[in-house]
Structure 1
């Protein structure tokens, strides 16, 4: 169980995990994704206790959240925006998903996401919201990991224990 928790932290954060992890640990890590989110939320809630103006506090919370997750979710959002927005063939979309360059859709969606996240954090009514929302956010994709076929090797294949195709 501790190894699966370590695998969840290794996948979702930049925190170093001093364990030798195996593939089965990553397959079991899914159950701990929300717990990783709650740990991140606890750090956001602690930051909210500082006597700072709401806008500055929200900006620091955005920076903390992005930094501690290694920009993982933002990177995935930007890749998906470039691949899915606009009229393209399936093959072109798959190629764009693997392209490391930032396209116009990624730029626009990324900017909107950061503005909305900043505003949501600035308006967060109390630290309990900050504690809970990252955990809920890491729970949300779990049901979908087994509903759709994998596109290829990657984090989803690692936690699902399958190969993409």
Structure 2
């Protein structure tokens, strides 16, 4: 279990905890534990936001915290977000959109979507008070990781790649059980830090 948690942390963050050679496969097989790593990421980001809020204006806290969480997760999701934005702005059949998403050059669609998303996230964080920012970020990151599990279970691979490991793992015979475990863990985390409001946030994200 320790090995698995290290692999999950290594896959989802840049924290130097060490990883095994089968990190990707191990992370895919235990994807249902993603919400736990999300709670860890949210705790680190929330602690930073809470600390900064005693010294800096809220808008600065929001920007720095958002940037810190993005860096903590290796900017992997930002890269995918930019590709998704390019795909949205590309007209034509699905194959053409996928080709645009694989282009190494980022287009205006990706840049615009990325800018709007990051600025909105930073602004939302800046609106959280000292009494709620830590808890809110824990639940937000937990929900974000739960959504990855849901998408892997409900979706399918558009092409062979890293995503294939996770989609195949969640489409196995125990896929529904893994999804229920991920949901259960998320609800426990949400209730632990925000009570019924935490559960509501998890359900809305689900």
Q: What's the secondary structure of 1:49's corresponding residue? A: helix
Q: What's the secondary structure of 1:140's corresponding residue? A: helix
Which consecutive segments of 4 or more residues in structure 1 shift more than 6 A?
none
Equivalent residues of 2:86, 2:100 under 8 A apart: yes
Q: 1:149 to 1:131 in 2, by over 3 A?
A: closer
C-alpha RMSD of matched pairs (Å): 1.8
Q: 1:101 aligns with which of 89, 100, 105?
A: 105
Distance in 2 separating the partners of 1:152 and 1:56: 40
Distance in 2 separating the partners of 1:141 and 1:27: 11
Task: Compare 98-107 and 148-157 and name the one that shifted more.
Answer: 148-157
Task: Compare 106-115 and 80-89 and name the one that shifted more.
Answer: 80-89
Residue ranges of structure 2 left out of the alignment (5+ in a row) = 170-206
- Equivalent residue for 2:8? 8
Question: Deviation of residue 161 (structure 1)?
Answer: 4.3
Q: What's the secondary structure of 2:128's corresponding residue? A: coil
Looking at secondary structure, tell me which structure has more helix per residue.
2
Q: 1:97 to 1:155 in 2, by over 3 A?
A: same
Equivalent residues of 1:15, 1:68 under 8 A apart: yes
Deviations 1:93-114 (A, max 9, x none): 1211211111011111111001
Distance in 1 separating the partners of 2:122 and 2:85: 19
Distance in 2 separating the partners of 1:4 and 1:156: 18
- Equivalent residue for 1:62? 66
Question: Deviation of residue 158 (structure 1)?
Answer: 2.4
Deviations 1:90-149 (A, max 9, x none): 221121121111101111111100110011100124121122211111101212213222
Q: How many residues align?
A: 162
Distance in 1 separating the partners of 2:63 and 2:104: 26
Q: 1:24 to 1:70 in 2, by over 3 A?
A: closer
